[in-house]
């Protein structure tokens, strides 16, 4: 990410660049702790500004250009942060503004019969009220103040509302500090625990109730003290096992539905066998049992993969949702209708495309994703569907859609959810529909790889749509802000061939037709100066011209500058990729290019430490280089991230291991008194991801330290360790750690920073920002002076 081009054409009166720092007098900077006056500390409010939109995946880079904020990374959606559950209009999916924000995943929802819902999941707050994994939201959108049981030791996966109370099932071990092993019942008005003796020895995933009985499905083999294989029935009144129900399943049960029309219980999940009192019989992921005694029905549906959701229609037709692609012998991708006799109906979601959250495994690409259906409900002639998908029958429907029960046709309900719903529940007749799950936003814009927000309001700009087909690693704008250049793993932009590098016209959001270089492998980094574009990555050819992992292009046409050659080489393997270039920066006048990566040579000359300074005109190694790069064991030394200050004075870098932050003199480079060019070096245990300097502070984004198991940086170069994760601020003059320490989650944390005249933008993989209760995925804006 080339942050020295961050602010173009935007008022920046509150932003200043740290003054030049004199080179250190010693080659080893570890003991240097005072190199100039410290900057005033940041003054930021670490509660995300509520108007700023979020994303559903990693924000790998941020640029502020001409009143807009551009985001790049591994997302395919941006929208307002509405929390993990919302009530939406049942006709078009428009969000109802009164609903309280939920700070964690909602896994179950059941209507209360009065226009509100009981909700279960993994959350700590609903609106402004503390709620321990279960809550009651009233019809007017307020949180029921009298209902507040605290579920402890695990999640609530399922709910069933009965005449005598609300039954909860999940992984929990207690309620209100009293033991409750995965099953419990509470008073539906007060939330007080009701004496009820049901329990399970493993996860409960599904509940259903009818005629004074509660049906339980999950992973368990013991239910209320009796042997029961993943399915059983208990008394609604006492929780005691019902010995008259003999139904069982040979694998995990994920969904249950009572079909009163046909007097049967339907179970679905991962199992391939089922039984009803006798020997096991083949039943591929769906089975039906008599309500009277649990006898296994002759009904078969035979899905070829997991069924995760069930719903029953008004005449007993069954709706299945999951990961399957066939039901019986009929091709049905992820959604199917089956008659009471097992005949597959015409309903066909025809789902395509999807986006999955990032993980540590896919650091530089979209996570492979298969569409799925995870939530279903039927109400008033409509089937509501939630899952992971981008289109239904070729029509845009991001993770939520609805169909007519009569015709199977897609209707106009389109909430545009950011991620997978796990619970959908229709409220009062004609009223709203609740949608909850892993989503944190609805009513946003589908934007893949790159999106634009208004720099003042934080809202998405609908007129800008430059979707890529894969991950965008980095962006850099032209000096005048008329173009923004992308580098990444993509092959197309707006459906047009643009392998790895593209130019977008900012005024229109269209792909620049004049700029079309062709890279044979991915681009990882790029830098701009004086009408030229420098690109680094894994490629070996650009527009049929041999260029090993570094190239200079004409920024207007994309033509290769044949005078500039800085070919790199290095060891093979995924970590080194034959000497790829992972970081690249260029001086403001274009005369000097800094390159970092696991290369060992540049133009055939050995380069130590995976860091090189080359001519911006020819690519030849310069007479002065930079050094002091550390390694650990067989890993390193090399630099995999670079950042040049806006005034071109200071170069920052991060190594692959042991995770030092380096600051070098970017003007004088090495000298007789400072042969490495180092100004300071601070040791962390999380590698450099986000990097940005403003107002005399260097912002450092990283993962959770040891992949989420702790983090730290030195209080000052060579000083004691300070426990902290993902977000750090250093005084840019001295390398001294500042006290700012807002909290972020996920193993891979913070990846990008940028500033406007009103505050600081932080991008990454996180789902909350500032603290655990601030839902904000992918992007957060902290107001104040960074």
What does the buried/exposed string (b/e) look like for 182-203 if buried means 16 or more CB atoms within 10 Å of the residue's CB?
bbbbbebeebebbebebbbebb
Of 309, 303, 291, which Cα lies nearest the Cα of 158? 309
What per-residue confidence (pLDDT) applies to 733? 97
- pLDDT over threshold 50, residue 10: no
Q: pLDDT tens for residues 348-359?
A: 999 999 988 877
Give me the mean pLDDT over the 54-83 stretch. 97
Give me the mean pLDDT over the 548-565 stretch. 99
Which of 7-16, 34-43, 362-371, 711-720 has the weakest average pLDDT? 7-16
Residue 495 Ramachandran class (φ > 0 left, ψ -120 to 50 alpha, else beta): left
DSSP string for residues in 13-68: TT--PPPP-PPPSSS--TT----SPPPPPPEE--S--TTS-EESS-EEEEEEETTE
Residue 387's φ and ψ, nearest 5 degrees, are 175, -145
- pLDDT over threshold 70, residue 88: yes
361 secondary structure, DSSP code = S
Q: How confident is the model at residue 35 (pLDDT cuts 50, 70, 90)?
A: very low
Return the structure tokens found at 94.
Answer: 């428009």
- Do 481 and 8 touch, CB atoms closer than 8 A? yes
What per-residue confidence (pLDDT) applies to 19? 31
- Domain 3-79+446-785 CATH assignment equals 2.130.10.10: yes
What per-residue confidence (pLDDT) applies to 22? 28
What per-residue confidence (pLDDT) applies to 27? 35
Q: CA-CA distances (angstroms) from residue 622 to 568, 607, 777?
A: 15, 11, 43
Q: pLDDT tens for residues 518-533?
A: 999 999 999 999 999 9
Q: pLDDT tens for residues 400-410?
A: 999 999 999 99
Neighbours of 572 (CB within 10 A): 10
What per-residue confidence (pLDDT) applies to 4? 30
What per-residue confidence (pLDDT) applies to 428? 85
What per-residue confidence (pLDDT) applies to 663? 99
- pLDDT over threshold 90, residue 767: yes
Q: pLDDT tens for residues 118-177?
A: 999 999 999 999 999 999 999 999 999 999 999 999 999 999 999 999 999 999 999 999
Q: pLDDT tens for residues 638-693?
A: 999 999 999 999 999 999 999 999 999 999 999 999 999 999 999 998 899 999 99
Q: pLDDT tens for residues 590-607?
A: 999 999 999 999 999 999
Q: CA-CA distances (angstroms) from residue 655 to 88, 578, 783?
A: 47, 17, 31
Return the structure tokens found at 30.
Answer: 């570890």
Give me the mean pLDDT over the 449-457 stretch. 98
Q: In sequence order, what are the residues at sequence separation of 6 or more whose Cβ sits closer than 8 angstroms to the Cβ of residue 329?
A: none
Q: How many angstroms separate the CA atoms of 219 and 610, rounded? A: 51
Give me the mean pLDDT over the 718-725 stretch. 94
Q: How many angstroms separate the CA atoms of 310 and 336, rounded? A: 10
SS3 125: strand
Give me the mean pLDDT over the 182-197 stretch. 97
Q: How many angstroms separate the CA atoms of 238 and 231, rounded? A: 18
Residue written as token pair 């080359």:
614
Q: How many angstroms separate the CA atoms of 212 and 238, rounded? A: 10
CA angle, 752 then 64 then 556, to 5°: 105
Q: pTM of this prediction?
A: 0.93
What per-residue confidence (pLDDT) applies to 748? 87
- pLDDT over threshold 60, residue 706: no
- Do 471 and 60 touch, CB atoms closer than 8 A? yes
| Most confident residue range from 9-13, 119-123, 700-704 | 119-123
Query: Taken in order 360, 471, 69, 786, is the CA torsion positive or negative?
Result: positive
First to last CA, the chain: 19
Which of 1-15, 22-36, 446-460, 638-652 has the weakest average pLDDT? 1-15
User: What's the mean per-residue pLDDT of the chain?
Assistant: 93
Q: CA-CA distances (angstroms) from residue 707 to 317, 359, 687, 704?
A: 47, 10, 10, 5
- pLDDT over threshold 70, residue 20: no
Q: How many angstroms separate the CA atoms of 489 and 468, rounded? A: 9
Residue written as token pair 């894994």:
538
Which of 223-227, 299-303, 483-487, 769-773 has the weakest average pLDDT? 769-773
DSSP string for residues in 222-242: EETTEE-SSEEEEETTT--B-
Strands 678-683, 712-714: parallel, antiparallel or unpaired by DSSP? unpaired
């Amino acid at each position: 990410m080339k942050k020295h081009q961050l602010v173009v054409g935007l008022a920046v009166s509150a932003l200043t660049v740290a003054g030049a720092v004199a080179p250190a007098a010693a080659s080893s900077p570890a003991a240097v702790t005072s190199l100039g006056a410290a900057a005033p500390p940041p003054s930021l409010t670490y509660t995300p500004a509520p108007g700023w939109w979020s994303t559903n995946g990693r924000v790998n880079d941020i640029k502020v250009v001409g009143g807009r904020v551009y985001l790049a990374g591994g997302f395919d959606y941006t929208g307002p942060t509405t929390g993990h559950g919302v009530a939406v209009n049942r006709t078009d999916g428009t969000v109802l503004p009164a609903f309280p924000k939920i700070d964690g995943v909602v896994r179950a929802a059941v209507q209360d019969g009065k226009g509100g819902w009981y909700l279960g999941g993994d959350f700590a707050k609903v609106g402004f009220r503390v709620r321990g994994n279960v809550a009651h939201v009233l019809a007017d959108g307020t949180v029921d103040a009298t209902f507040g049981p605290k579920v402890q030791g695990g999640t609530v996966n399922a709910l069933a509302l009965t005449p005598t109370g609300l039954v909860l099932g999940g992984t929990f071990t207690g309620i209100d500090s009293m033991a409750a092993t995965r099953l419990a019942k509470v008073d539906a008005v007060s939330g007080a625990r009701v004496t009820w003796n049901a329990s399970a020895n493993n996860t409960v995933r599904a509940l259903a109730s009818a005629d004074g009985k509660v049906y339980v499905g999950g992973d368990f083999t013991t239910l209320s003290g009796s042997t029961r294989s993943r399915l059983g029935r208990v008394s609604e009144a006492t929780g005691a096992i019902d010995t008259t129900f003999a139904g069982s399943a040979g694998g995990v049960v994920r969904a249950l539905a009572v079909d009163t029309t046909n007097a049967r219980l339907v179970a679905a999940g991962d199992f391939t066998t089922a039984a009803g009192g006798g020997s096991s019989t083949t039943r591929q992921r769906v089975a039906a049992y008599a309500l009277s005694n649990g006898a296994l029905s002759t009904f078969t549906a035979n899905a070829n993969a997991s069924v995760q959701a069930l719903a029953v229609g008004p005449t007993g037709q069954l709706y299945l949702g999951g990961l399957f692609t066939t039901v019986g012998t009929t091709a049905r991708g992820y959604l199917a209708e089956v008659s009471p006799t097992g005949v597959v109906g015409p309903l066909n979601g025809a789902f395509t495309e999807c986006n999955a959250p990032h993980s540590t495994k896919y650091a530089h690409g979209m996570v492979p994703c298969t569409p799925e259906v995870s939530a279903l409900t039927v109400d008033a002639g409509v089937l509501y569907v939630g899952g992971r998908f981008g289109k239904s029958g070729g029509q845009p429907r991001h993770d939520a859609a609805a169909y007519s029960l009569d015709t199977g046709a897609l209707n106009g309900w389109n909430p545009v959810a950011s991620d997978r719903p796990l619970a959908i529940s229709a409220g009062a007749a004609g009223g709203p529909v609740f949608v909850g799950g892993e989503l944190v936003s609805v009513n946003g814009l589908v934007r893949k790889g790159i999106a634009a927000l208004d720099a003042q309001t934080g809202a998405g700009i609908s007129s800008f749509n430059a979707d890529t087909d894969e991950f965008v690693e980095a962006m850099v704008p032209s000096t005048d802000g008329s173009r923004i250049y992308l580098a990444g793993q993509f092959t197309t932009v707006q459906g047009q061939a643009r392998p790895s590098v593209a130019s977008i016209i900012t005024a229109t959001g269209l792909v620049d037709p004049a700029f079309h270089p062709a890279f044979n492998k991915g681009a990882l980094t790029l830098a701009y100066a004086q009408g030229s574009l420098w690109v680094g990555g894994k490629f070996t050819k650009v527009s049929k011209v041999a260029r090993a992992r570094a190239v200079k292009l004409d920024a207007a046409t994309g033509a290769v500058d044949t005078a500039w050659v800085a070919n790199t080489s290095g060891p093979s393997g995924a970590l080194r990729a034959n000497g790829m270039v992972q970081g690249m920066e260029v001086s403001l006048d274009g005369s000097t290019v800094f390159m970092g990566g696991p290369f060992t040579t540049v133009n055939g000359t050995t380069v130590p430490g995976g860091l090189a300074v080359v001519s911006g005109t020819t690519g030849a190694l310069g007479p002065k280089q930079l050094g002091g790069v550390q390694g650990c064991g067989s890993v390193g030394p090399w630099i995999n991230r670079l950042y040049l200050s806006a005034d071109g004075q200071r170069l920052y870098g991060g190594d692959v291991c042991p995770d030092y932050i380096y600051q070098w003199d970017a003007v004088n480079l090495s000298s007789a008194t400072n042969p490495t060019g180092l100004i300071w070096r601070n040791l962390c245990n999380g590698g450099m991801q986000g990097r940005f300097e403003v107002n005399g502070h260097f912002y450092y984004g990283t993962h959770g330290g040891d992949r989420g198991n702790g983090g730290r940086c030195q209080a000052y170069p060579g000083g004691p360790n300070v426990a902290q994760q993902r977000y750090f601020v250093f005084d840019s003059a001295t390398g001294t750690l500042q006290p700012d320490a807002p909290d972020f989650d996920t193993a891979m944390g913070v990846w990008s920073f940028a500033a406007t005249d009103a505050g600081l933008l932080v991008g990454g993989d996180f789902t909350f920002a500032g603290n655990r209760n601030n839902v904000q995925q992918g992007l957060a804006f902290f107001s104040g002076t960074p």
